[in-house]
A and B are shown apart, each in its own frame.
Chain A
């Protein structure tokens, strides 16, 4: 996917609309790249994380890392995958069973996402589901941005602005975002278009 403004520079109105969308959806712009990168990192590290879980399953677990999940069984937390989401194992005859477990702090409950005898497979299923959740997010964000632009600038075709916003969300890295924030004012003072 190429940047929607790559071949034709944005008009003044598009520039203004884009700036307003970025301001209005700042939280999406902050959270989406961070979540996307967390999923990408996990996809890259499936083998490493699975190995870490296998090794953890082979040695005794400290007492504080043992939790009771919603299936009633005791699970041993091995690796933190994301905020409040852990890869766990429980010893079974002849080996270990693995599960991705999410902690809901408000109720202090642990819910199993998916489970299996192969840590790597359990992780792969989990990352696929994360991808699907990101896709749901992307579609919703597109609809929200389109709605916002239609209400704010009625009668204008700002489809390129909506596309540019989604492009920014889906390609920008958290690091880029941080450096962008630092240099934003400086660039604007030189009349550059972002």
Chain B
């Protein structure tokens, strides 16, 4: 009996790393509440960027910088 040759499935491509996160996501990643993230922004410890309508996003590089310096 002939067997159908197995085709190798390509490994799942790794999704590209996000460049920025919402405040909620940043809070979850840092393990703190929302207010703590807004406080870090207010103190200049996290520099967010403003997107449409003024919504804040925290760049990934800022989160990494914060964790490295803390």
Would you call A136 and B41 a contact (CB within 8 A)? yes
Q: Is B33 close to A, CB under 8 A?
A: yes
Closest Cβ of chain B to A80, distance in Å, is 15
Query: A188 to chain B: closest CB distance in Å?
Result: 27
**In terms of DSSP, what is the predominant structure of the interface of chain A?**
helix
A129 touching B34 in the complex, CB below 8 Å, given contacts A104-B70, A139-B54, A140-B55? no
Instruction: List chain B residues, Cβ under 8 A from A136.
Output: 38, 41-42, 56
The size class of the interface chain A forms with chain B is 20 to 34
CB contacts under 8 Å to A, within B1-52, are 22-24, 30-31, 33-35, 38-39, 41-43, 52
Contact B43 A137 (CB under 8 A): no
Give 1 or 0 for each of A100-140: 1 = CB within 8 Å of chain B CB.
Answer: 00001011010101000000000000000110111011011
> Are B41 and A31 in contact (CB-based, < 8 A)?
no
Known: A104-B70, A106-B31. A147 touches B42 (CB 8 A): no
Partner of B53, one of A106, A111, A143: A143
Query: For B31, what are the chain A residues with a Cβ–Cβ distance below 8 Å?
Result: 106
Q: How far is the CB of A174 from chain B (nearest CB, A)?
A: 14
Q: How far is the CB of A102 from chain B (nearest CB, A)?
A: 8
A130 touches B39 (CB 8 A): yes
A133 adjacent to B39 (CB under 8 Å): yes
- A83, A109, A134: the one contacting B38 at CB < 8 Å is A134
In the bound complex, how far is the Cα of B59 from the Cα of A139, in angstroms? 18
Query: Does B42 contact A35, Cβ atoms closer than 8 Å?
Result: no
Q: Are A31 and B38 in contact (CB under 8 A)?
A: no
If A104-B70, A106-B31 touch, whether A137 touches B24 (CB-CB below 8 Å) is no
In the complex, the answer to whether A133 meets B42 with C-beta atoms within 8 Å is yes
Please name 16 further chain A to chain B contacts, defined as beta carbons within 8 Å, in addition to the given A31-B35, A140-B54, sorted by A numbering: A27-B34, A28-B34, A35-B34, A83-B33, A104-B70, A109-B70, A111-B70, A129-B42, A129-B43, A130-B39, A134-B35, A137-B38, A139-B54, A140-B23, A143-B55, A144-B22
Task: Give the interface of A toward B (CB within 8 A).
Answer: 27-28, 31-32, 35, 83, 104, 106-107, 109, 111, 113, 129-130, 132-134, 136-137, 139-140, 142-144, 146-147
List 25 A-B residue pairs with CB atoms under 8 Å apart, sorted by A's residue number.
A27-B24, A27-B34, A28-B34, A32-B34, A104-B70, A106-B31, A111-B70, A129-B42, A132-B42, A136-B56, A137-B34, A137-B35, A137-B38, A139-B54, A140-B23, A140-B38, A140-B54, A143-B52, A143-B54, A143-B56, A144-B22, A144-B55, A146-B53, A147-B52, A147-B53
